[in-house]
Amino acid sequence: AGLLFMANEEKMAHDVYATFAEQYGVRIFENIASSEAMHQQAVNVVLERYGLEDTAIDLPVGEFSDPTVASLYATLVEQGSASLDEAIAVGVLIEETDIDDLESRMTVLEETAPDVYEMYSHLRAASQNHLAAFEGWL
């Protein structure tokens, strides 16, 4: 369940950033959206290893297999559409939330699923870099 949620969460981050990249034409969103697409692929590799299907990966922008994530996407895009500063603030919120989610999931995985733990560690490091980029923009 955690992996499937993470797949939706990574797609949501990608879709929000892709939407803002189109709306504002700012490179930070283009670059981080590209990175989030790679994160989706990394999660998908682990899902396949465990015989799970990523039900979100082929959905169009803004559509998700998890209704909570779909609602969050709509809220974040609405908030970030108010201004570029609000869009950057959404980026900060997404990355902070992603880091928290990853860290809470990692605590139980180090011994039981070291491959998932390692992938989450890489995603956390990337999210920390994204957060620094957004905070540097402010």
pLDDT tens digits, 1-11: 778 888 889 99
Is 100 in contact with 40 (CB distance < 8 Å)? no
- Picking from 75, 67, 90, 102, the residue whose alpha carbon sits closest to that of residue 137 is 90
- Picking from 50, 65, 131, the residue whose alpha carbon sits closest to that of residue 95 is 131
pLDDT tens digits, 58-69: 889 999 988 999
Tokens 């923009």 — which residue? 137
Residue 30 is predicted with a pLDDT of 96
- Picking from 95, 91, 117, 75, the residue whose alpha carbon sits closest to that of residue 24 is 91
**DSSP single-letter state for residue 60:** P
121 token code pair? 């560690």
pTM of the entire predicted model = 0.93
pLDDT > 70: percent of the chain:
99
